[in-house]
Structure 1
């Protein structure tokens, strides 16, 4: 891993510079699949009708180990890395405000090292690498699972950026969800001349929101729901003939998600009745509640303890503390220096975010490695979470994560009993009393048009900022950042 640290850094910095949103990760696809093809992997694209997706395979025989990580960015989170002040690279543009530019560096570097060992030792087994496309809108993994992409895979090792290094088993903190759009169709009319002839689709959207917002008062505290109006009409003097609202409906269990979703559906149908409009719904994304595999997590935790955290420099710690001060964190702790230990099931469930790795976890034994490439006490889905993601902090954290990932792959390759134990846990303990049924139906298609207009607006300007590893050692060097740059330079 140390000898491949340069490749890790280049992947982290390159994906950071691409800044692509979900369903539009085409430069990311081109760049990563070339690395894999150059190293002997067979690559498929357009998996499950997702044009920016890919599926890379090398080797033969069992076990089949699949490595996954997300690749998409966050809208309006463009931010200069390595500085401790707000400075968009391009005002209004997307950026990596959750650090999804780092996970594939962990996976690919680990996979290439293990591939080399397998070739040298004549070890059987198959390595699969795949991306979480559009994770920020939960837009791919449920479709991959629905279409059988994980059939025949023995274990999935997923990676996700964090501020420390950890793995867990059982039900994790957070929720599952259904992501759904309701589109109402009405009748246009002149807003002043003959409004009585119109049937406002926007009225139906607003009535749906009113009904659901009153109902949210009575949701269980572990539930969450939020929305945006995607289309509210064209101009005030035209009664809107079409309008769309987009909801996330989150809960701890699949049963409660379905119950809340059914309530929202009735409210939308009632709003259509009240306005004499019609309503159609579209599933935009889905995430089943997560459950991670105990035997694989315990094996990975041993590797985490063996690898440990990176050796942070004083510059790294100074920068981390500066970011925490910038974001007015409750505690100014700097970078983690102690491992938290394996995460075990909570006595009481805790609400929070969602991840469609949950759908994968109910199809094949799965774990998620949290690796230390970001700074604690910042704000996710926010420009602050991108500030460290093309710095030595991200590079060192990804290299440490790759060591753990590679070691765990070797455990699975050399210990058939670990694979057997993982499947025993999956079938006898995880699946006891619960039957997985995806929230995505057989005819639901992924919303691949999402974010296309935004990327069309910014891609040419972003392309001018793409990292060039042939000319610059790091992206910070290319940008002229004197890391850690704590104060904004004065303009001449």
Structure 2
């Protein structure tokens, strides 16, 4: 059955390539993934999945389910792009496809293709062998804003789910278990209200909301010296007023507060609230706050991770071509990165004992799912080593054969692990035992969300309404072109003698 599952993924390599390239071309940022979601759900519906759209009050969120009885396994991956990171794929130098447009500088265009290929392949084997089980696919909407998965959990999307597998792009094929050592996070918007006045004629008549914002930021930066080393906090002023000769009547600052434990995240949040109120009092303004998102610290399930790792050992790494390695080197050399070949060996299983002492860092709201059902993340090798995350250099390979091959490999790891979960009751039982008696023994899920907090679906709306018509000119048409590189006329690997890239599974 596993060999049949792997064969099923291989025969869907062209589908993976088309999905990777299409989603790359849509490049939709958080909460605006309308074209992306329509495209993915259309494929799933054609393959017998029942789709429910607009779940958890989020227009671009959905679930796609198949099966009538048996274990329910959830499969997910993020789908959003990042603002301002438009990049021509296959170019080793920075070259925006459309200046000011979003782009997949995190590689989120590759995860859902891997998940879909895995789901369709294992579904086919389950039907042929009459294996009882159910699948639920779901998208990580607005992950770059860390703004939805806590709302998914609150809405009950994972009630009845037995286990969950998440995927994320990486430079290698890997997984992990135990506390990840990354930071959880709360995203908060503080809006100060003052009183407008003529800034020169009668400034004493006004109360500057911008003063409140700036005083909060100054106070936070002074307090930062006395916070734990594991914390990360940062902000942007999203509204500082209209013009200099009008005292700002409204001002807004957007904060991310990050740390490694639920209590520490809550403490940072409460400290930010206290400082905002003090700044308002000092400037004669008022302040309101709104939680825009939350991400729990990550915690992988040991039994599922160990099973997935055994499958990874059986699968191995993609067979990189000379062109793939040449392009990776070209990207690294052109952008001043350390030259490191595409990985050819499986990364070790990451465990609490093998990881360095955690000192804080980024966040991923898959943690909210991890504290709800037994969950792991499978990372797959669709990007180039040493590029910068959340940067155009991380988009350069994401519609090339590197991304295509890595996603196919990721799909195989997901599919085999799903098959294990469907056919091995002992694995599911041990996963739940670890979740209930190890993970939840000393900590409980404690999100900083109130009943009044709602998903920030307004974010990025104005930008996309303005720029989407221009972006649509660059959408990939798989009916006319074998690959997106071919449509764009980009030679691969971008070195002397290079030719336009063929589609996955096709000869040059």
| TM value normalised by structure 1 | 0.98
The 5 A counterparts of 1:95-106 are: 95-106=103-114
1:405, CA displacement in angstroms? 0.5
Q: Does 1:280 align with 2:288?
A: yes
Q: Does 1:190 align with 2:198?
A: yes
Partner of 2:36: 28
d(CA) in 1 for partners of 2:495, 2:359: 36
Partner of 1:415: 424
d(CA) in 2 for partners of 1:37, 1:350: 44
Q: Does 1:378 align with 2:387?
A: yes
Query: Aligned to 2:10, what secondary structure does the other structure show?
Result: coil
Query: Aligned to 2:134, what secondary structure does the other structure show?
Result: strand
Q: Give 5+ residue unaligned stretches, structure 1.
A: none
1:467 pairs with 448, 467, 476, which one? 476
Partner of 1:144: 152
d(CA) in 2 for partners of 1:223, 1:434: 19
| TM value normalised by structure 2 | 0.95
1:457 pairs with 466, 483, 494, which one? 466
Q: Give 5+ residue unaligned stretches, structure 2.
A: 1-8, 499-508
8 Å CA contact 2:312, 2:413 repeated in 1 = yes
> RMSD over aligned Cα, in angstroms?
1.2
How many residues align structurally? 488
1:339 pairs with 346, 360, 363, which one? 346
Partner of 1:175: 183
Query: Aligned to 1:227, what secondary structure does the other structure show?
Result: strand
Q: Does 1:50 align with 2:58?
A: yes
Partner of 1:397: 406
d(CA) in 2 for partners of 1:88, 1:423: 46
d(CA) in 2 for partners of 1:454, 1:60: 42
d(CA) in 2 for partners of 1:33, 1:226: 35
d(CA) in 2 for partners of 1:409, 1:392: 26
1:151, CA displacement in angstroms? 0.8
2:363 pairs with 342, 354, 361, which one? 354
CA deviation digits over 1:88-137, x for unaligned, max 9?
A: 00011110000000000000000001111111111111100000000001
Partner of 1:115: 123
Partner of 2:454: 445
The 5 A counterparts of 1:77-92 are: 77-92=85-100
1:457, CA displacement in angstroms? 2.1
Partner of 2:239: 231
8 Å CA contact 2:93, 2:335 repeated in 1 = no
Runs of 4+ with >3 A deviation: none
d(CA) in 2 for partners of 1:397, 1:31: 21
Partner of 1:265: 273
d(CA) in 2 for partners of 1:471, 1:100: 24
8 Å CA contact 2:29, 2:142 repeated in 1 = yes
